[in-house]
Chains A and B, each alone.
Chain A
Amino acid sequence: MKELDARGLSCPLPLMHTKKAIEDAPAEILVLVDSGTAKANVVALLSDSGYTVSVESTPEEYRITAVRE
């Protein structure tokens, strides 16, 4: 599974890096972010790009798992 650590990055870097990471259409990707805004942006991008997205929230971070539909 492809992994991307976007924790602590300011807008729009989490979105930029996620977009780049799904350019080669991986079957599954894990994106780590730590702000609500980054989470919302990344989830929206992945959902709109044909992925089924699930988010696991811990006190430190959001683990966004996306599986290609």
Chain B
Amino acid sequence: MAKPRKIGPTAWIVGGAGLFIGAVAAWLVSQGNPGNMGLCIACFLRDTAGFFVGGTTGQAATAYIRPEIIGLILGALVAALATREFRSRGGSSPVLRFVLGFIFMVSALIFLGCTVRAWLRLGGGDLSAIWGILGIVAGVLIGVALLKRGFSLGRSKAASKPLGKALGWIVPVIAAVLLVLAIVTAVSGTPGWATLTVANGRSVIPGQVVVQTADGVTTVVKPADATIVDGAVIAADGTVLADAEKVASTKAMPGGKRAALVISLLAGLAIGVVAQRSRFCSVGGIRDAVLVRRYDLLFGIAGLVIGATIVNLILGQYSLGFTGQPVAHNDALGSFAAMTIAGLAAVMMGGCPLRQTIMGSEGDADAAIAVLGMLVGAGFAHWAGIPSSGAGLSDLAWPAMGVMAVVLAAIAFAKRSRVA
């Protein structure tokens, strides 16, 4: 009998996939994406939601169809079709999966990053990510305890009827619609009903004064008749709307920091293929190591951090420290609590948001519902004013986390196994 082994060839494949994804994500930052946000499923779904509902939800700073998301989906779809792994299936607690996706998103927006970006932040030297990562570990451990006691959302079924088979295409169809809208917007401007964050824009006075910097030259986007004089924003009648210091100290809006459409799309496609083939998951690593003593997916996480760290160092983007990090706050307890909730929600729905997106692209209608939950959760969170900013948590963050913890406990109780 061959000797059982802990680390098989698949561990190295997932590790290589993590290395690739981390490296590409760090490189995307150099191409224009926000700091330590080359790839963030929560943030990018949120930005995408902002394009559609940003006017209602107050997402002027986070509204852009992220082509990485489109690429991810189409890359995974092609990989799944090519390997005959595309199978329409669903019916495993869709309503609860919507709620879990919703909760995942809201808590990720309190931390400022999903379970993928948490590790990418660490790979950029952002030590405040550690609070969130500790939270992920705690959430996963709670999830593992639930799984051991028999927690399950139930079996999905393969679709046999035409309607069921069509439902497997929800996520790919969404990607196709997003691709058309992204191209239309790039070619002929933003549709009247949509919201688009000004590229490289800075919101000097929210809703009133917005400036844009391109090739080192700053111009005023809003109000239309104002101009820049010695770095200050001056209205048509000569009033100083914002002095030079105020303009210079205003940070860029995350939604306005983006790589070129083609670059984002191709990077997303490549990551989509790699993620589908390797089964990379950002919460499965800790989960499987604790639960079944399997380390394949943990290699993926190690690869992700190493790949991002190396490329960030090479490109001069690495900055070690707890404070002053891009799109991050250093609220230790808030980050820990938010990611405990996100990590638990991810384990309960069977994988991180990246995996939900990939599975949705393989015909899994339940995963598609979880992705929809995340999109709606993003819009809701911004509408309600729950997301954090670089300054820290909003007033509603803790009440929201309390409610979400109760809902997760209720789902865990409802779906516990009788044999526990």
Please give the residue numbers on chain A whose beta carbons come within 8 Å of chain B beta carbons, in ascending order. 7-13, 15-16, 19, 34-37, 40-41, 44-45, 47-50, 57, 59-61, 68-69
Interface of B is mostly: loop
Say yes or no: B294 contacts A35, CB within 8 Å.
no
Tell me the complex Cα distance, A44–B153, Å: 24
Please give the residue numbers on chain B whose beta carbons come within 8 Å of chain A beta carbons, in ascending order. 1-6, 8, 10, 80, 83-85, 87, 89, 92, 147, 152-158, 279, 281, 284, 287-288, 291-292, 294, 296, 349-351, 355, 359, 362, 364, 366
Given known contacts A16-B147, A45-B294, A10 and B153 CB-to-CB distance under 8 angstroms: yes
Find chain B residues with CB under 8 A from A50 CB.
Answer: 1-4
When the two chains form the complex, which single residue of A10, A15, A35 contacts B288, counting CB atoms closer than 8 Å? A15
Tell me the complex Cα distance, A66–B85, Å: 21
Please give me the 4 A-B residue pairs with the lowest Cβ-Cβ distance, nearest first.
A10-B350, A8-B155, A36-B85, A48-B8
Find chain A residues with CB under 8 A from B5 CB.
Answer: 48
Given known contacts A15-B288, A44-B8, A37 and B359 CB-to-CB distance under 8 angstroms: yes
Say yes or no: A40 contacts B350, CB within 8 Å.
no
When the two chains form the complex, which single residue of B3, B89, B152, B291 contacts A35, counting CB atoms closer than 8 Å? B89
**Nearest A-chain residue to B148, judged by Cβ:** A16
Taking each of A48, A50, A60, which has the highest tally of chain B beta carbons within 10 Å of its own beta carbon?
Answer: A48
Find chain B residues with CB under 8 A from A60 CB.
Answer: 158
Say yes or no: B87 contacts A40, CB within 8 Å.
no
Tell me the complex Cα distance, A49–B6, Å: 8
Say yes or no: A36 contacts B362, CB within 8 Å.
yes
How many A-B residue contacts, CB cutoff 8 Å? 85
Tell me the complex Cα distance, A37–B362, Å: 10
When the two chains form the complex, which single residue of B1, B287, B288 contacts A68, counting CB atoms closer than 8 Å? B1
Given known contacts A9-B152, A50-B1, A44 and B157 CB-to-CB distance under 8 angstroms: no
Find chain A residues with CB under 8 A from B281 CB.
Answer: 11
Say yes or no: B294 contacts A15, CB within 8 Å.
yes
Find chain A residues with CB under 8 A from B2 CB.
Answer: 50, 69
Say yes or no: B10 contacts A44, CB within 8 Å.
yes
Shortest distance between the CB of A38 and any CB in chain B (Å):
10
Say yes or no: B288 contacts A12, CB within 8 Å.
yes
Find chain A residues with CB under 8 A from B89 CB.
Answer: 8, 34-35
Say yes or no: B83 contacts A36, CB within 8 Å.
yes
Find chain B residues with CB under 8 A from A11 CB.
Answer: 281, 284, 350-351, 355
Given known contacts A11-B281, A13-B152, A47 and B8 CB-to-CB distance under 8 angstroms: yes
Shortest distance between the CB of A21 and any CB in chain B (Å):
12
Find chain B residues with CB under 8 A from A61 CB.
Answer: 158
**Nearest B-chain residue to A50, judged by Cβ:** B2
**Nearest A-chain residue to B351, judged by Cβ:** A11
Tell me the complex Cα distance, A9–B87, Å: 14
**Nearest B-chain residue to A22, judged by Cβ:** B4
Tell me the complex Cα distance, A35–B351, Å: 14
Say yes or no: A40 contacts B152, CB within 8 Å.
no
Find chain A residues with CB under 8 A from B350 CB.
Answer: 10-12
